[in-house]
Amino acid sequence: MAKTRPGKRDLDSYNIKGTNKVVHAGDCVLMRPSDVGNPPYVARVEKIEADIRSNVKVKVRWYYRPEESMGGRRPFHGAKELFLSDHYDMQSAHTIEGKCTVHSFKNYTKLENVGSDDYFCRFEYKAATGAFTPDRVAVYCKCEMPYNPDDLMVQCEGCKDWFHPSCMGMSIEEAKKLDHFLCSDCVAEIDPKRGTNSFSVSPMADGRTDNKRRKR
């Protein structure tokens, strides 16, 4: 834990101005952007302190949006995806506009309803070098892209891989009506008449990890 600077005192919490919401160290918050009209910044509060004049500051660790990273936004990045960076700052607590929740990737995919203040993080990001941790994640479909939780995918009953309907020449509406699905590579190997009672519509739906999944 960081040492308190001379003339400062640690605080257990901070009440967001004009609200009844209380912020503690470890909470994720929305912070006022420098440019009006831009979305709020997202950060994790590491420490809360006040000076002798009771001015409150927070030490924050910033989350970056994909478009703020060196590589920019890519097709597999979700609309609510964030990267936990190694960029820390001291900020006035008055710039905190509200609280939010940054879920793990797995927990985010299990949400029945995604609220405006729900985000997810699956990568840590080094702001100076643009490096990500982990540097490899599971990829799916013939396009070999990581899973974007905003996109519908269907699972092949044969190889258990996941596919985008568009990569299989189907519309989303057609995919939703499927009772079972076999990818083109499995059609010749598996009896297409074999039925199934249900099929999953996202790689995280069944909570399993398939050792055959490729990495990139």
pLDDT (tens digit per residue) in 66-114: 999 998 999 999 999 999 999 999 999 999 999 999 999 999 999 999 9
pLDDT above 60: residue 174? yes
Q: Using CA atoms, how far apart are residues 40 and 38, in angstroms rounded to an integer?
A: 6
pLDDT for the residue 103: 98
- Radius of gyration of the chain from its Cα atoms, rounded to whole angstroms: 22
Tell me what the mean pLDDT of segment 192-212 comes to: 50
Reply yes or no: is the peptide bond before residue 75 cis, omega within 30 of 0: no
Question: Beta 41-50 vs 28-31: how paired, if at all?
Answer: antiparallel
Phi, psi dihedrals of residue 161, rounded to the nearest 5°: -80, 165
Q: Identify the CATH number of the domain defined by range 9-133.
A: 2.30.30.490
Superfamily (CATH) of domain 136-216: Zinc/RING finger domain, C3HC4 (zinc finger) (3.30.40.10)
Model confidence at 210, in pLDDT bands (50, 70, 90)? very low
3-state helix, strand, coil in the chain (%, to 5): 10, 30, 55
Would you list the domain boundaries of the chain? 9-133, 136-216
* One-letter identity of residue 187: V
Cβ count within 10 A of residue 182: 17
pLDDT above 90: residue 185? no
